Structure 1
Amino acid sequence: MLTGTRVLLGAFVGLTALAVVALLMRPAQAHEEFAWPIHMPMTAAFLGAAYAAGCLLSAAALRERSWDRVRVTVVTVGVFTALVLCASVHHAHRLSLADGGPVARFAAWLWLGVYLAVPVACLAVTVRQGSEAVRQGGAVRHAVVRPMPTWLARTVAVQGAVLGAAGAVLFVGGLGEHHHTTLVIGVLPWDLTPLSAQVVGSWLLAFGVAAALVVRERDLARLRGPAAAYAVFGALELAVLARYRAQLDHGDPRLWAAVLLLLGIVAAGACGWWLGRWRGPGTGGVPGPRRPAATSESGSSRSTRASSSVTAWNGSR
């Protein structure tokens, strides 16, 4: 893995950590201190939980040494930041670039700068890593060390499709609304402003893309980081829903559909991480079960046959 790739991942770890502090740990202050006013703490916390999963995804990738083990992470980050850039430019009037307190203005300009730079950096890193592979004689397709079970691949594919569809509805819906302050789309069990809807939709779309890439890779030995981040995403979003349950309509079927989806995400991510630990020799994971040793009878039979062959050969001489 090239140095530029590590720099990009390290920068994203730091930036997402800042978002976690601002949104997940201080959601009540997001309407005054974030890049745009988020008046509902539940929305701020929901976004903060997604950033926490993104932070873990990038931090896990920093521990890897080869491009094939971080490709999913870099592409996911690139997709997310490109979508957020589109949303930020479209709703630039909502960003606290000129109004609000000094913290909000600083956050808004930092936000805009980050989402202008990171998508370009992700594209540059991906192209450079591809060129490096060609320079070294062409991309090498590594053997699958720990194949993903079919049932898990199908589960992740379905979940990714649901996340992608929900994200697309939120993103496109927010794109169509420019001046309204509240956007009501029948996806999440609470209302969102257009910019918040697009950023939430960007996260859902990014995780949907990540799910598709994971299914395409099909090697759990290379996907433990994404699997862990996937499980953490589901767990933290469930915690957000539990924290703000008093603000939700418990009779809303969308709430229970979201809970079931998030529970499934936690289970799928945890299974993928756990199964990915059992890897072959020399890969750094927990060794898988070995074949049972040959029995003494079979060993004796082989020895007897070998001795008979040697004797017969000597006799023929």
Structure 2
Amino acid sequence: MSAPELSTRADDGILPGTRWVAIFIIPFLVAAVILLFGFPTRTGELFAWPIAPSLSAYLLASAYLGGIWFFVRVATARRWHHVRHGYPAVVVFAAALLVATLLHLDRFSMNLSFIVWFTLYATTPFVIAVVAIVQRPRDPGTADTPDVLIPGFMRVGLAVTGACAFVTGAVMFVAPQAATAFWAWQVTPLTAQALGAVLSLTGVVNAALLWDARWSAFRILFQAQLLSLAAIVLSLVGGHAELLWDRPMTPVFIGLVTAGVVVYGWLTLWCELRLRSAKVHEP
């Protein structure tokens, strides 16, 4: 391939098809957030399957809320590298939910919501994977002008934190029966696997910090994670009566969520202040 062709491919652009896929997904995420946050006790009739207690519905909705922000930004972003690291996480999340669905078909409601759910998760992992593969060569690997480089110790720390979340999610997914005995509130094997899929998001996103230090490559993703974390905090406040305080996982989970808000919030503020300073002093 000639140099001009390589330059054209590595233009950091977002293809129209990528934007249209994002725009197509957003309404389904909005509908899910409304149903799960607004009607958590009626998920059996309004959503794809009955979810109890409400905290499980809230946690799934929190992930979808972050997804709305992410895909809105995909539809409007100027550069591919601003959103590229979110795609592997979406593939893993959607694939996990597809597998969970196939393993627990008897738990789902045979209604329109289930048909939509099954159709989306039978196609989304593959569509998103194709989009990521087609778009991947367009990231030139360069930082924005100006940009901020995230310090190595911060990146390693977040990657380790994400790995812990991913391992926890993997245990819940692979051994959902065990999760019913240790999780912070009552879960079924299906909801345990769904929550495990949610926990995988942070792990997959944060793993990319090990080889990419550009703040511009994580800014949107951290905003989405902060939005999800804020929703989880509000969910824990609203659903505190459903927490099982005799289980060690309850204070651990609350502590991790609190730490997540503090760490992501502080790092976002730190990077944004330095980015603003760089813009002020830009020649």
User: Structures share a fold, TM > 0.5?
Assistant: yes
Other-structure match for 1:75? 88
Aligned pairs for 1:64-103 (under 5 A) are 64-97=77-110
**Does the 8 A contact of 1:72 with 1:210 survive in 2?**
yes
Alignment of 1:185-204 (within 5 A): 185-186=181-182, 188-204=183-199
Deviation sequence 1:223-267 (CA, Å, 0-9, x none): 211111112222221221121112223353321111111112112
Partner of residue 28, structure 2? 15
User: Pick from 20, 24, 35: which aligns with 2:37?
Assistant: 24
Residue number in structure 1 paired with 2:142: 142
User: Residues of 1 paired with 2:281 and 2:143: CA distance?
Assistant: 20
Does the C-alpha gap of structure 1 residues 95 and 107 become closer, same or farther in structure 2, counting only changes over 3 Å?
same
Rounded Cα–Cα distance in structure 2 between residues aligned with 1:288 and 1:24: 39
Distance in 1, matches of 2:267 and 2:19, equals 24
Q: Give the 3 Å change call, closer, same or farther, for CA 215–18 of structure 1 in structure 2.
A: farther
Q: Is the 8 A contact 1:160 1:208 kept in 2?
A: yes
Number of aligned residue pairs: 267
Task: Give the counterpart of 1:252 among 247, 255, 270.
Answer: 247
Q: Which has the higher helix share?
A: 2
Distance 1:61 1:111 in 2: 22
1:1-317 correspondence runs (5 A): 1-97=14-110, 105-130=111-136, 133=138, 140-143=140-143, 145-174=147-176, 184-186=180-182, 188-278=183-273, 287-288=278-279, 290=281
Match of 1:301 in 2: none
TM-score by length of structure 2 reads: 0.86
Gaps of 5+ in 2: 1-13
| 1:130 shift after superposition | 3.5
Q: Which segment is superposed worse, 121-130 or 202-211?
A: 121-130
Contact between 2:44 and 2:109, CA under 8 Å: does it hold in 1? Answer: no
Report the 3-state secondary structure (helix = DSSP H, G, I; strand = E; otherwise coil) of the residue aligned with 1:184.
helix
Query: Identity of paired residues, percent?
Result: 26
Q: Which amino acid aligns with 2:122?
A: L
Q: What corresponds to 1:296 in structure 2?
A: none
Pick closer, same or farther for the CA change 1:274–1:215 going to 2, 3 Å.
farther
RMSD of the alignment, in Å? Answer: 2.3
Distance 1:250 1:91, change over 3 A: closer
Shift of 1:215: 4.1
Q: Look up the SS of the partner of 1:128 in the other structure.
A: helix
1:183, CA displacement in angstroms? 6.0
The letter for the 1-side match of 2:140 is: V
3-state DSSP of counterpart to 1:190: coil
Distance 2:123 2:213 in 1: 31
SS of corresponding position for 2:180: coil
Partner amino acid for 2:155?
A
Is 68-77 or 113-122 further displaced after alignment?
A: 68-77
Q: Is the 8 A contact 2:83 2:221 kept in 1?
A: no
Q: How far off its partner does 1:8 sit?
A: 1.8
The structure whose Rg is larger is: 1
Task: Pick 1 or 2: higher relative contact order, CA cutoff 8 A, min separation 6.
Answer: 2
**Residues 75/260 of structure 1: CA separation in 2 closer, same or farther (3 Å cut):** same
Asked whether the 8 Å contact 1:221–1:277 carries over to 2, the reply is no
Q: Distance in 1 between matches of 2:74 and 2:248?
A: 37
